[in-house]
Homo-oligomer: A and B are copies of this chain.
Amino acid sequence: MTARIIDGEAIAAEIRVSLKREVEKLLLSGKSRPGLAAVLVGDDPASHTYVRLKRKASAEVGIESVAQELAADSSQEQIENLVHELNADPTIHGILVQLPLPQGIDEEAVLGAISIEKDVDGFHPLNIGKLAMKGREPLFVPATPAGCITLLKSAGATLQGANAVVVGRSNIVGMPAALLLVRENATVTICHSRTKDLQSVCRNADILIAAIGRAEMIRGDWIKPGAFVIDVGTNRVDDASKERGYRLVGDVAFDEAIEVAQAITPVPGGVGPMTIAGLLRNTLQSAQRLQGYMGEAML
């Protein structure tokens, strides 16, 4: 059996189309255009690239974005003051602080300063707590784990009652993905660097989410035949045949896994595009909520 490839680009493109339509409806109803502020501290080139990509994607769906750049030597107070200004700015419905922040800055305090109502990344502990709790609804679901669930559903996976294994327990992917899977009534196993015999645990997974950041660590024979595999990893491996000297691979050995799985995401082109789409969706939903506009349910 050769697995179906779950096309994150195509699914994210569909989401962007519906986001654009919803933005237009919001404007037609007389409300303001959704506004997203990206706080960028210092000169990290990768961070600048990420913010540029997010702003470009925002523009495509009609979300106004602003990049708020601060010097690398900005003080804690300066960064938090900027966040407070954005909290108070009625044209801004979502605030993201591009990580990592420069050394010496208290990241928890900066993220904690973001108004819970504009925390479109969904990383605030209050949001994560609500995600973990029955009967509570987070204001925002973190984009990458939400994207994993959307991809699984698009691929036709049954989540309820499935054995789902999440490898990695990060705050931004692994743990919230596990909590979302519990909400979907999957039986969820959370694995990490201290897990013994990871291979056997993975081989029992109907649904496998890999978010460890280790190139091709999960091999084909770790995968249960017919499983759905979501590969969140994006790792560089040296490749002299490429002009830039490397290629991107996931946490799963794709060429092996595709022979065993029922469906699998590629890297790149799987989870990645969903992350930005999720951020835009959260920003639109925030603009709808803050302006008292009832939007349609979206992926």
Give A residues with C-beta under 8 Å from B: 108, 124-136, 160-161, 163, 169-171, 175, 178-179, 182, 185-192, 194-196, 201
Contact = CB atoms under 8 A, between A and B. Distances in A.
Nearest to A170: B134
A194 to B, nearest CB: 4
B194 A187 contact: yes
Contacts of A191: 187
Contacts of A160: 194
B190 A188 contact: yes
A119 to B, nearest CB: 12
A125 B136 contact: yes
B190 A182 contact: yes
Contact of A189 (B129, B169, B189): B189
A169 B169 CA distance: 18
A171 B161 CA distance: 20
A135 B161 contact: no
- Grouping DSSP codes into helix (H, G, I), strand (E, B) and loop, the A interface class, with mixed when no group exceeds half, is mixed
A160 to B, nearest CB: 6
A201 B175 contact: no
B161 A196 contact: yes
Nearest to A107: B135
A129 B125 CA distance: 4
Contacts of A135: 108, 171
A199 to B, nearest CB: 13
Nearest to A193: B185
A195 B192 CA distance: 22
A161 B195 contact: yes
A156 to B, nearest CB: 18
A192 B196 contact: no
A108 B125 CA distance: 17
Contacts of A196: 161, 163, 187
Nearest to A165: B189
A158 B188 CA distance: 21
B175 A132 contact: yes
B185 A188 contact: no
A73 to B, nearest CB: 24
A99 to B, nearest CB: 12
B161 A194 contact: yes
Nearest to A176: B132
A136 B171 CA distance: 10
A129 B175 CA distance: 11
Given A182-B169, A196-B187, A125 B134 contact: no
A169 B133 CA distance: 9
A40 B182 CA distance: 32
Nearest to A196: B161
